Amino acid sequence: MSLPMNRRTMLRSALTGAGMLGLRSMATGLPVSFLLNPKSALADGACANAAAAQYLILSMSANGDALNCNVPGTYDLPPSFAAGTVNHSDPLDTSMAPTSLTLRGQKWTAAKPWASIPQATLDRTVFFHHRTGTANHGELGRVLELFGALRRGQWLPSFLANNLAPCLNTVQKQPITIGGEQLSFEGRYLPKLTPTGLKAVLTGPTGLPGQLQALRDTTLNQINDTLKQNRAQTKAERAYMDNMALSQTQLRTMIQQVASDLASITSDDANNQVLAAALLIKMNVTPIVTIHLPFSGDNHTDNNFNSEAVQTTASVNAIKTLMAKLTTYGLQDKVTFATMNVFGRTFDSLNGRGHNASHAMSVIIGKGFKGGVIGGLVPGGHAADIDSATGQASPSGDLTAGDSLASVAKTLGVGMGLTDAQVNDQITSGVAVHSAIV
């Protein structure tokens, strides 16, 4: 079978294979584990904190985008930074003009697109300055492995998915990648989807609207018949089913939203990626969706930073679209958005940027996070050491720039509902910066 066919059939297989367990789970709201054995399986593994657990939409880039060059923490620098060593956008480009914004009551400066984000979202937005330590496009996978700090060769999305899926009762625990970057899960590479490919799968001849309502009623009737056979031992299972099962009204609402949002997907660009990602979370298919939001591309030559400005504006707008869609779904407090790039870009040129192994940026937005800036810059365009108690850049900080990538991962994990014990057990360096966590 060809690779394009694999991409098209991966999600269909997950939803319709093995007795349509995936569709049945979506139609009823019940996890696959319960559908397989309603008399004994009440959860699909251990969950440390179901109430705090978050879904994740992760933007990844092997291009090494210039996301790090126009964010809070790179402006308003001290005199130790010589003039001309930190260049942002073209001074004549008003779309990227330095603009004041507020993060949890503290004033910062950033490129204008970031200041356009609604204040409620900014108040839960963390700008985490760190370094990846690589300048090689092909090492995004090693960045996601935290260069060996994540045990057993796991990739960060896989580690998070394995721990979050039992809490969220998703149809599958495997992440879904939509944006084109390669992703590994438990030692194997996952197929890559596109927004239009997702639309084709879900609106095909046996698509969701034609099946879900009938599947809901049939499945719940079958489970009730099973439980009736042993009433004395099924009180817990009945209570669990009553708590988890979707009503017909809830299901009809979901079907209407799915149909409307599928119809709105028209291409595979960043804006359509965030729509597809939100839709997959709404349907509870997976705990993690990866996408690709560009902020410059591989811009060694970029006259007046024009491409950087266009892409940054478009991707910040895509983030705003995502947040609005999650609010429409009632998921604004259940989904975290984050970025992870293979490396950042240099600051010392005026019409293009080189690879920067020593400074990168992860943006994290979610209910579990306090808006602010973690770390910062030191002369030369390098990530600063960090005081782990305050999150501030500090030349005497106990969190070195060398451990900052692992610290991004730990901070993200704890803010999404994992415990310090869970992240410390599997990530062998760095610390979770609790000043950024609610």
**Residue 92 covered by a domain:** yes
User: Could you tell me if 312 and 247 lie in one domain?
Assistant: no
Taking only Cα atoms into account, the Rg of the chain, rounded to an integer number of angstroms, comes to 22
Q: What is the CATH number of the domain that holds 421?
A: 3.40.720
Give the total number of structural domains in the chain: 2
Same-domain check for residues 385 and 279: yes
Query: Is residue 111, in this structure, part of any structural domain at all?
Result: yes
Cα separation of 358 and 380, whole Å? 9
Tell whether 207 and 348 lie within a shared domain.
Answer: no
Q: Tokens at residue 324, please? A: 């609005």
**What is the reported pLDDT for 230?**
61
Q: At a CB cut-off of 8 Å and minimum separation 6, what does 374 contact? A: 126, 127, 128, 129, 386, 391, 411, 433, 435, 436
pLDDT of residue 4: 41
Residues 12 and 90 in one domain: no
Strands 188-189 and 335-341: unpaired
The answer as to whether 352 is a domain residue is: yes
Does 352 share its domain with 422? Answer: yes
Is residue 374 situated within a structural domain? yes
CA pair distance 385, 393, nearest whole angstrom: 6
Co-location of 163 and 201 in the same domain: no
Sign of CA dihedral 31, 33, 36, 42: negative
135 and 92 together in one domain: yes
**What is the chain's pLDDT, residue by residue, as a tens digit (438 residues)?**
333 434 455 555 556 555 566 677 777 777 766 776 666 555 445 777 888 999 999 999 999 999 999 999 999 999 999 988 999 988 889 999 999 999 999 999 999 999 999 999 999 999 999 999 999 999 999 999 999 999 999 999 999 999 999 999 888 889 999 987 999 998 889 888 899 988 887 775 555 656 667 777 777 777 777 776 665 556 667 776 776 676 777 777 777 777 788 888 999 999 999 999 999 998 888 999 999 999 999 999 999 999 999 999 999 999 999 999 999 999 999 999 999 999 999 999 989 999 999 999 999 999 999 999 999 999 999 999 999 999 999 999 999 999 999 999 999 999 999 999 999 999 999 999 999 999
Q: Which candidate, 270, 336, 304, 285, places its Cα nearest to that of 88?
A: 304
For residue 283, the 8-state DSSP code is T
Helix (H/G/I), strand (E/B), else coil: 417: coil
CA distances in angstroms from 238 to 27, 92, 247, listed in the order given: 18, 65, 15
Is the separation of the CB atoms in 376 and 73 below 8 Å? Answer: yes
Output the CA torsion sign for 204, 206, 209, 210.
Answer: positive
| Residue 134 domain flag | yes
Q: Are residues 161 and 31 in the same domain?
A: no
Kindly state the tokens that stand for 288.
Answer: 């993690």
Token pair for 438: 């609610």
Identify the domain boundary among 212, 246, 261: 261
Contact 353, 302 (CB under 8 A): yes
* Nearest-angstrom CA–CA distance, 376 and 374: 7
- Angle, CA 129 vertex, CA 126 and CA 133 arms, to 5°: 140
The DSSP H or E segment spanning 360 is strand 360-365
- Residues 306, 401, single domain; the answer is yes
Q: Rounded to the nearest 10 degrees, what angle do helices 248-264 and 195-202 cross at?
A: 130
Q: Is residue 175 part of a domain?
A: no
Q: Check whether residue 10 and residue 144 sit in a common domain.
A: no
Which amino acid type is present at position 177?
T
The answer as to whether 110 is a domain residue is: yes
C-alpha angle 316/317/319, rounded to 5°?
65
Tell me the residue range of the domain where 347 lies. Answer: 44-77+86-168+268-436
pLDDT (0 to 100) of residue 359 = 98
State the CB neighbour count (10 A cutoff) for residue 85: 15
Q: Is residue 421 part of a domain?
A: yes
Same domain, 369 and 333: yes
User: In terms of C-beta density within 10 A (0-12 exposed, 13-18 middle, 19 or more buried), how is residue 80 classed?
Assistant: exposed
For the chain, give me the number of helices (H) and strands (E)?
14, 15
Q: What phi and psi, each to the nearest 5 degrees, are found at residue 73?
A: 105, -10
Q: Are residues 34 and 17 in the same domain?
A: yes
